[in-house]
Amino acid sequence: MSETRIEKDSMGEVEVPRDALYGAQTQRAHNNFPISGIRFNRDFIKALGLIKQTAAAVNAELGCLESEIAEYIGKASQEVIEGTHDDHFVIDIFQTGSGTSSNMNANEIIAHRANELAKSDGKDLDVHPNDHVNFGQSSNDTIPTAIRVSACLAIHEKFLPGLQRLENAFREKGKEFAQVVKTGRTHLMDAMPITFEQQFGGYSAMIRGGRKRVEATLTRLSELPQGGTAVGTGINTHPEFGFKFAARMSEVTGVSFKEAVDHFEAQATVDAPAETSAQLKTYACSLLKIANDLRWMNSGPYNGLGEIFLAPIQPGSSIMPGKVNPVIEESAAMVAAQVIGNDATITVAAQSGNFELNVMLPVVAFNLLQSIEILGNASHNLAERSVDLIKVNQEHITALVEKNPILVTALNPVIGYDLGAAIAKKAFKERRALKDVAKEMTDLSDEDLDKYLDPMKMTRGGFIS
């Protein structure tokens, strides 16, 4: 039996794998782009299924599509939404810049399955990928809509929960060690004391800021280009299609979508996805800083800072027995680097909007969705496998704080900066306790020195009295 079958399109015949659900246009694109082997992910394919299902239902409601055809398009689209046919989405990311090949991949799969489902019900339908599944649509509004729908859903389902988990983990871990005072650092050099609650609270606020920034972009990201068709004018679609499509998509997904305020802007640019990517990058910078801070605090433990103990979750060396490395933090740092690179790609792609269409839509979709997913996953992983399990080396930390000559800063209002500097330098040079040197060089009593040099009081701000 032949392993292929013959399919036809407007350019003629083409051989397609016998069991493939797609047709000639998909096969041509598959042949034309043997570039990377990278395909659209589950989120994007699900969004395509949602779009085709929603479009069919709205077109039937508007009297533009036979209800029975719309019904079977909906059933076939549901299979795409559920991931049943992911293996048949075979087009490389590096393809036609409009994503037309992937749009037709979806159209052909859904038409094929709609006909099979109808046949199994004893009905003789001829669902066409262009005339029916793609009715009232163009790749030029469908792919930009798929980018936005998939990104909005992924942000709600993956990104925001991951960040919320990490934000809470740092806040709770800070409370656990609220009474532990450690040496603050600026320029990697000893500075005034802070508590773990203050430091970890700062991390929690950074994550919350990242979450809020990305959430703020959803107002614009949730505007859907669908209804603009080829160039934004809405040619060959019902005038109410865009509005009704967005309303129905909101009902189906539970996420609030609306029709694009200006279809020409929404199709000619990827400004909204680029804005979201930029805020994802901002959070990636925060994540990288946090991961590196944890690595520094965990360093040693015998010949480093050794302030905290990260959980020993796997061997760290193939040659050094007993060595354990901060692998979760390193993983998070690499995710941050990837996201920063993804944003650079999206930035270049965002400049590639020629007249009425951006022509780097597939690479925008891939990089944006990858950034959303890996940041959400890395944040959750950092919380679960690292932050929740952190232990503090309190005895070591307390000893370091008490020996820190920089504590003399608290005496500035009493003895002045110059004398304070002299005390600090003498204490450091002679490796002596700051209090002993201060007692020699000032008229302050033991009681006063204990009061002014209390590290915990220094973490509360203001003047010590």
Buried b vs exposed e over 28-57: b needs ≥16 C-beta within 10 Å? bbbeebeeeeebbbebbbbbbbbbbbbbbb
Question: Where do we find the tokens 């659900």?
Answer: 21
Task: Answer yes or no: 396 catalytic.
Answer: no
Tell me how far apart the alpha carbons of residues 339 and 342 are, in angstroms, rounded to a whole number.
5
- Side-chain half-sphere CA neighbours of 29 within 13 A: 28
Q: Which long-range contacts (CB under 8 A, 24 or more apart) does 328-332 make?
A: 328/381, 328/382, 328/385, 328/386, 329/291, 329/292, 329/294, 329/295, 329/298, 329/382, 329/386, 330/291, 330/295, 331/378, 331/381, 332/287, 332/288, 332/290, 332/291, 332/378, 332/379, 332/381, 332/382
User: For position 234, what pLDDT does the model report?
Assistant: 98
Find the catalytic residue in 36, 67, 256, 317.
Answer: 317
User: Known catalytic residue: 352?
Assistant: no
Among 72, 163, 176, 56, CA closest to 118: 72
Residues in the chain with pLDDT values less than 70? 1
**pLDDT at position 301:** 86
Provide the pLDDT for residue 402. 84
State pLDDT tens for residues 125-183: 999 999 999 999 999 999 999 999 999 999 999 999 999 999 999 999 999 999 999 99
| CA 183 to chain CA centroid, nearest Å | 33
Q: How far apart are CA 312 and CA 87, in angstroms?
A: 39
> What's the pTM value of the predicted model, to 2 decimals?
0.95
- Minimal CA–CA distance to 182: which of 171, 170, 196, 166? 196
DSSP summary character for residue 279: H
pLDDT at 1: 54
CA nearest neighbour of 464 among 455, 225, 88: 455
- Residue from 2, 187, 318, 465 carrying the catalytic annotation: 187
Domains of the chain: 4-135 (1.10.275.10), 143-395 (1.20.200.10), 403-458 (1.10.40.30)
Instruction: Say how far apart CA 15 and CA 8 lie, in whole Å.
Output: 9
